[in-house]
Amino acid sequence: MTAETKTGTETARTTSCCGGGACGTGSADVQIGGVTTVYQVTGMTCGHCEGAVSSEISGLPGVVSVKAVASTGQLTVISEAPLDDAMVREAVDEAGYELVGQV
């Protein structure tokens, strides 16, 4: 079960297998004041690809969280401030993939 809330500059996301997290396997991620940007990346086909892209993007200044999904080609980045597209493009290129642009 996943619930996501976005209000102004606040994003809260809670994921739990039992709805309330009572079993201890659920997780909650809360980002307040961050910027969420979703990019489209071509060439990712597996978990290794996701890790390579995530690793490069995580090294950019101000990046708080990264999630790459090979099946959709989407890269979700939470950062302290908007990122320079050229920096993101260079990092994705360094990982061996191509940044198409923002979704």
Q: Which residue type does 74 have?
A: Q
Q: Are residues 76 and 90 in the same domain?
A: yes
Query: Domain limits at 2?
Result: 1-33
Is the distance from CB of 80 to CB of 59 less than 8 angstroms?
no
Angle at 94 between CA 92 and CA 95, to 5 degrees: 65
pLDDT score recorded for residue 74: 98
Parts of the chain with a pLDDT under 50? 1-31
Max distance between CA atoms of the chain, in angstroms, equals 43
Is the distance from CB of 38 to CB of 1 less than 8 angstroms?
no
- Token pair for 77: 């980045």
Q: Are residues 92 and 54 in the same domain?
A: yes
Containing 61, the helix (H) or strand (E) segment is: none
- pTM of the entire structure? 0.69
What are 32's strand-pairing partners? 10
Q: Are residues 45 and 19 in the same domain?
A: no
Q: Are residues 41 and 64 in the same domain?
A: yes
Cα 15 to Cα 78: distance, rounded to the nearest angstrom:
17
Query: For the chain, what is the domain count?
Result: 2
CATH assignment at residue 85: 3.30.70.100
pLDDT score recorded for residue 33: 65
Q: Are residues 13 and 39 in the same domain?
A: no
pLDDT score recorded for residue 73: 98
